[in-house]
Structure 1
Amino acid sequence: MSYDRGGRDRDRDRDRDRDDRDAPISAGKIAKKTAKGVTYVDYKNVDELRRLMSPNGKIYGRKRAGLSASDQRKLSQAIKRARHMGLLPYTSATL
């Protein structure tokens, strides 16, 4: 009679097989400080903003992007500004 050790082995195998799609992206220094100490994200820095978006143009969540809550809000606002100005597409098959 074989005994199933529960789901532990299957969970371990699934975790081992998981690819890097859930790994946090190194955001680096997306937020910069001004001389007065105010933190901002530059909407004109399109290459940095694209790294924090999916290939379809969706903004990654803050856990995946590795940002704090306030930096994620600033990133979201910067991406929306860049989209409005025509620097980034709203949706795309590939960025």
Structure 2
Amino acid sequence: MAYNKNDRNSNRDDKGDSPMRRRNTRRRKKVCAFCADKNHTGIDYKDVNKLKRYVSERGKILPRRITGNCAKHQRALTVAIKRARHIALMPYTLD
């Protein structure tokens, strides 16, 4: 009889590290960093250090589901990053 990889796992329970098991875990909802900060003065395109946190290592603007920002602040952040890129404070792409 030939050895088959699928036969050895057929007797196991599905309670292990199956993808269905991992999918059911709930993650904590991210809170908008700008809404949570009471001393928030606004999103400024000249504040490059703050804007860099919301850009990937390839230079792309990170989406809301990753950053946890609300829609209002994500739009303002996107405009600020685009303005900073336009006047060469931030690069369009990173090498």
Is TM (by shorter chain) over 0.5? Answer: yes
8 Å contact 1:27–1:52 — kept in the other structure? Answer: no
The structure where strand makes up a greater share of residues is 1
* Cα offset, 1:66, TM superposition: 1.1
8 Å contact 2:48–2:90 — kept in the other structure? Answer: yes
8 Å contact 1:27–1:67 — kept in the other structure? Answer: yes
Q: TM-score, normalised by structure 2?
A: 0.64
5+ long unaligned stretches in structure 1: 16-23, 34-39
Equivalent AA in structure 2 for residue 48 of structure 1 = K
Between the two proteins, the alignment pairs up a number of residues equal to: 79
Q: 1:28 aligns with which of 10, 24, 33?
A: 33
Partners of 2:30 and 2:59 in 1: how far apart?
Answer: 16
Q: RMSD value over aligned CA atoms? A: 3.4
* Cα offset, 1:8, TM superposition: 6.7
5+ long unaligned stretches in structure 2: 1-7, 24-28
Cα shift readout 1:44-79 (whole Å, capped 9, x = no counterpart): 000110011001110000111110001100000000
Equivalent AA in structure 2 for residue 76 of structure 1 = T
Partner residue of 2:44?
42
Q: 2:19 aligns with which of 11, 16, 27?
A: 11
Partners of 2:93 and 2:30 in 1: how far apart?
Answer: 21
Partner residue of 1:83?
85
Equivalent AA in structure 1 for residue 61 of structure 2 = I
